[in-house]
Amino acid sequence: MNIHEHIVNNLKVAEVHSDGLLIRNAADGLELLVDLYYQQFDRIIVHEATINPDFFDLKTKMAGDMLQKFSNYRMGLTIVGYFAKYNSDSLDDFIRESNKGNLINFAPDVETALHRFSQR
């Protein structure tokens, strides 16, 4: 795991890179959250390719379990990637609703994620 630090509007943002799966289950997401929280990051950017594809199948409840932890800790998370490939109306709705809020967002690329952080 590699962390690229961005500063946006006085927020310390961790962009997390990994060669393989970084988040295999909700517990891995919580571990990442806690690790970066204690490194005093305010927001996290994770690439979709580093997350278990089960996350994007809402029936598995992996997304709900993991994202609830981020909400509880008030830690912002943006997942960047191409989500249309999952061909799921429920996921599309979930992404649209998440993007209306400030904590959990989905973006097509890092530049868009950082731009959204700059507007909040």
Q: Give the pTM.
A: 0.94
Strand extents, DSSP E, the chain: 2-8, 11-17, 43-47, 76-80, 104-107
**Per-residue pLDDT at 118:** 84
Q: Is the pLDDT of residue 40 over 80?
A: yes
Q: Which CATH architecture has domain 2-118?
A: 2-Layer Sandwich (3.30)
**Per-residue pLDDT at 69:** 92
- Show Cβ contacts of residue 60 under 8 Å, excluding neighbours closer than 6 positions: 54
**Per-residue pLDDT at 22:** 96
**Per-residue pLDDT at 92:** 97
**Per-residue pLDDT at 90:** 95
**Per-residue pLDDT at 119:** 82
